[in-house]
Amino acid sequence: MSFLFYKRPPYVAKRGGHLTEWKKSTHESDCGNTSIPRELCFENVICNKCMSPCSLQDFLDYLMYVTHDAENLQFYLWMVDYFQRFRSASEDMRALSPRWTDHAPLFRDQNGDSLIGTQDLDIHSEDISECSTWGGEQSEFTDQYTQTLEDIKFSISPVKQQRAHAQLQWHPTAGQPFRGEINRIIKHYLAPGSPRQLNLSRNDSATVLRALEYTTHPSALKPVKKMLDSTLRHQSHPNFVRWSISNGNKQWTYAIRAFAVVNMTIGFVIAITLTLSRASRYWRIFAALEWWLGITNIIAASQGLCILLHRLHTRQYHAWERSSSSMDDDDDDEAILKGGDVSNISYESTRSQWPLKMEVFGPANNYSGEAWVSSYARKPWYRKLFEKRIKVQESGLSSIQNRMIRQAEAWALVITVPLTVALVAIPNANLF
């Protein structure tokens, strides 16, 4: 009977305005969480071992269109891949990038001022709003990451202070491995005003920039890694699973709730009519069927779950998802992403086949200009109500939905039985 008291993953609210490190003791969201099945644990989602609608692409879509912080996952996936590539580099290459400590020296200009942390970086030193600077054959990255130092080509653009009267330039340590890549990461994710700027506090941002000024060693990114890992694991992931349970859009959910109210109203009409008549009191039991059906649906709909759609093993499309005629194009992408390991996520070797939002270096995460926004706004409500459906492939999500529906049915029975018994016990009014 434990399913009677099952609760879907609770909503985890954000803390303050900046990224912070979450503690596992407060919000667990790993495979040991009883509200999230092992099939949907954080590691499986990140490694894209889950099927739709809980795949890695679905997770990114959720962060992009619902919570508006997709840059956290984009940077996190690059960071995991970068750590792996750094470990795979030769020992001579790694020796050029010393481990970061708080006592490492700063690079300063001729006036003794720090070039990183206190100065604004010019993110417009290269045009990163268009695909021409980060896609295609001109990419500075190759398919193999176990390169020698001679194989790496650095293309470090000067980064100037935004104020016109200042002529400071950023001069990172020459010859360090992946220095050009780190430079682009700073311009995309860490510099003030960058297109995918992480929501770091001023102190955290200054610390990371200071560390990356000194070295390209992964230890320079350790503070960001801790905050992103804990945020994605203990806040974004459980909220994503909770959101994925819903299989209908807002219009459909409202319609299901209205249907449930109608069912319960019909039940009361049957019960009152038979009580006022001379008919046998046992005919009133038929009202219980309407009550049970209505209560079951309203409990399930209160959690965004439609029993009918679940029985059909389907869900409605989200507004940003493509039509079913174009969904087949994703098969190759899914085949590329499946079966990865969290320590071996790789992007650049398959960059031409990745969706745009999966690219490490890309435009800002702003979807207001996407075609679906205006078309969906003009879409009539009745067409939104009967939105097209797609099959739910993830068995782990189906198991949560099964448990929630059994719970709704059980609680509906618990409410309906005593109500029916009390109704049958009332004597007839014999009015007609």
Nearest-angstrom CA–CA distance, 389 and 315: 5
User: Is residue 145 pLDDT above 60, yes or no?
Assistant: no
Predicted local distance difference test score (pLDDT) of residue 33: 58
pLDDT tens-digit map of 253-301: 999 999 999 999 999 998 888 888 888 888 888 889 999 999 999 999 9
Do the beta carbons of residue 345 and residue 77 sit within 8 Å? yes
Predicted local distance difference test score (pLDDT) of residue 22: 57
Nearest-angstrom CA–CA distance, 334 and 22: 31
365-377: burial string, b at 16+ Cβ within 10 Å, e else: beeeeeeeeeeee
pLDDT tens-digit map of 121-143: 333 333 322 322 223 232 332 33
User: Is residue 169 pLDDT above 90, yes or no?
Assistant: no
Nearest-angstrom CA–CA distance, 55 and 331: 13
- Look up the pTM and report it: 0.73
User: Is residue 30 pLDDT above 60, yes or no?
Assistant: no
User: Is residue 62 pLDDT above 90, yes or no?
Assistant: yes
For 290-331, the DSSP string reads HHHHHHHHHHHHTTT--HHHHHTTEEEPPTTSPPTTTGGGGH
Nearest-angstrom CA–CA distance, 34 and 38: 9
pLDDT tens-digit map of 173-187: 667 889 889 999 999
Predicted local distance difference test score (pLDDT) of residue 241: 94
For 76-144, the DSSP string reads HHHHHHHHHHHHHS-HHHHHTSPPP-TTPPPPB-TTS-BSSSSS---TTSS--SSGGGTSGGG-S--S-
